[in-house]
Amino acid sequence: MASDYRYHSNIWLEEPEESNPFAAKASYCHGYDVSGQIIPQASWFEYLLLMFKGDRPQASESRLLEKLAMVLANPGPREASVRAAMNAGVAGTNHSSALMAALAVGAGQYGGAQEVSICMRLWQECGQCLELWGNQLFNPEEDERADIWLPMEHAPGFDPNGDRTPAPVLQSLDFLAGLAPSNGSLTWLNQNRATLEDTVGYPLAISGVAAAALVDLGLNEDQGSMLYLMLRLPGAAVHALEQKQMGWKKFPYYGPAIELADDPGPFESSKPEQAPL
Amino acid sequence: MSHKHLLDTESHWVTRKGKAYLSDRVVMHNKDLHQELGDYEWLHLYLYSILGRDIGENEAKLLNFYWVATSYPDASIWPNHVTALAGTVRSTASLALMAGMSVSEASMYGRRPEVRALDFFYRAGRWCDDGGELIEFVEREKSAGRILYGYGRPLAKSDERIPYTIKKAEECGLGEGRYLKMALNVHAHLEATYGYSMNVAAIDAALAADVGLNCQEYQLFMTPCFIAGMVPCYQDARDQPEGSFFPVRCTSIVYGGRAKRDWNGPE
């Protein structure tokens, strides 16, 4: 007897084995046979875009996503989410904990998925209008109410700790723009980057490039945020594993670097009175 | 702006929060953890770690009740369901509880409604301080299309926690605060005008305002509040056969998407 408890999906259809209602004989993703056609014939990035967007993508779209995935795959061990994963890895914790740490830290508003999400919302609001961007980059909040997310402290998609645009950001923007529609966000960003940087006062960040690419892929801010989180995990994973092998003795211990201002010093407890000798 | 300020903190971090002098002593907000704070109940210490001050016995007792009152060992509650799923697949205790805790930062329940409800009362208070009427503020929020967090409850018409929470506030001498009265007045208006019920998020937030927590302090304080309810759900699923926690048969996925199609066919 079937259960009253059902989930609804427009993505996934499963047909059961005749012998077991809990085992799938065939699965279909947006109508395509997963085991019969998608796995043998599609690329990983075609499948990813199919899952997110619902239709078989154009070759140009899956190539843009593949190259974006490569841009994002490893932010390197200096980046906060990777450092979080390394902190997990060096102590030999669960692999899931390392990736959860990377996801939690990589979700943030400085270089993380929340920044990408806000940036993608600004693309919806500002489009390709420099004047609107010039205003909204300094006022990215939806309204004045407090939220679980703190107010943005910098222009989304730009790096307030930067001096000039790093070469990999420029290379990635230029390369990805060449794969994207000529009237799209990446192309416009490439053409107007210097003007926007002058307005903001600091350089474009990779989060800004990623947001434009995700907009060009036709994704909304929720989809873009999810992909950004996922696509940066390979670097977190390998650096967590590497630190496990490297060992804790080579891992920085910041204890001596932390200075407590106004240290009260050792606490003098009231000692019990001693009997006179 | 530039990178230059990063040079200051590359190898040196100055803090007033605390420090562990390993093999010697630990300081938290200017107090010795083991000697000066060693007699604190853990939740009182948690409040001290958030606030950097002793919030007071009665205030801590009331806030402790928030956690007690939300410890529902029921796996139909979504964060608890996550921990039960972790149990049924034999994931670890920490992974289960952290997953449950992180999904509690939700929009329909948990952290966002709590923060938004507290923010609502503080903004309402400022509105009234400036000479406005409370009901006018409520109506302005409503007409702006904003959810009035704390009013209405998706799956139930009343909230069993409210009378106990108000009773606890009275026991603690905190039952006459400005924001609690405000929460009750807002409810009276919304119920009479729109038939809205009130849930404990409104009462909890109002009392949190009365004891002086800001939104970030409140968010931090509430973050682990469901955890005692999650534990039995994890254990229960963990102790039953693998995969047996509400298994889903293929036909229980109700499909509403595209018809079957050929990967190589025309669109």
Q: Are residues A199 and A161 both part of a single domain?
A: yes
Tell me whether residue A111 is in a domain. yes
Show contacts of B26-31: CB within 8 Å, 24+ apart: B27/A260, B27/A263, B27/A264, B29/B53, B30/A262, B30/A264, B31/A264, B31/A267
Evaluate whether residue A93 is within a structural domain: no
Q: What is the band of A269 on the pLDDT scale with cuts at 50, 70, 90?
A: confident
Domains of chain B, earliest start first:
18-54 (no CATH), 111-222 (1.10.230.10)
Q: A32 and A113, same structural domain?
A: no
Whole-angstrom distance, CA of residue A147 vs CA of residue B216: 9
Averaged pLDDT for residues B208-225: 98
Chain B residue at shortest CA distance from A39: B263
CA distance A28 to chain B (A): 7
Residue ranges of the alpha helices (H) in A137-246? 167-179, 185-200, 206-216, 221-231, 233-246
What is the mean predicted confidence (pLDDT) over A267-271?
A: 73
Task: Verify that A166 and A205 share a domain, yes or no.
Answer: yes
Average pLDDT, chain A: 96
Residue A26 near residue B265 (C-beta atoms within 8 A): no
Based on the fold, state whether residues A135 and A219 are members of the same structural domain. yes
Cα B169 to Cα A160, B84, B103: the distances in Å are 46, 33, 28
* A152 and A123 part of one domain: yes
Total tally of structural domains belonging to chain A: 2
Give the residue-averaged pLDDT of B168-186. 98
Same domain (yes/no): A66, A189: yes
Quick: pLDDT tens for B55-94: 999 999 999 999 999 999 999 999 999 999 999 999 999 9
State whether A258 and B13 contact (CB < 8 Å): yes
Whether A225 is in a domain gets the answer: yes
Same-domain check for residues A35 and A163: no
A1 has pLDDT over 90: no
Q: What is the pLDDT of residue B266?
A: 82
ipTM: 0.94
A115 and A21 within one domain: no
Domain that holds residue A116: 59-72+107-231
CA distance B99 to B95: 6
Q: Quick check: B115 and A5 CB within 8 A?
A: no
Let me know if residue A50 belongs to a domain: no
Q: How many CB pairs under 8 A join A and B?
A: 163
pLDDT at res. A142: 84
Mean pLDDT for the stretch of residues A116-132: 97
Residues of chain B contacting residue A9, judged by C-beta atoms under 8 Å apart: 253-257
Tell me the mean pLDDT in the region B116-140: 98
**Dihedral-angle region of residue B208 (phi above 0 means left; psi in -120 to 50 means alpha; beta otherwise):** alpha
Q: Please report the pLDDT score of residue B2 as a whole number.
A: 85
In a domain, A97, yes or no: no
Looking at the structure, do residues A66 and A180 belong to the same domain, yes or no? yes
- How much is the pLDDT for A275? 62
Domain shared by A159 and A201, yes or no: yes
Pairwise CB contact (< 8 Å): B14 & A259: yes
Let me know whether A186 and A223 are in one domain.
yes
CA distance B152 to chain A (A): 19
What is the model's pLDDT at position B154? 58
Residue where the block lists tokens 């109506």: B139
A201: nearest CA partner in chain B: B1
Q: Both A32 and A136 in a single domain?
A: no
| Residue A171 belongs to some domain of the structure | yes
Closest in B11, B13, B112 to A147, CB measured: B112
In this prediction, residue B157 carries a pLDDT of 73
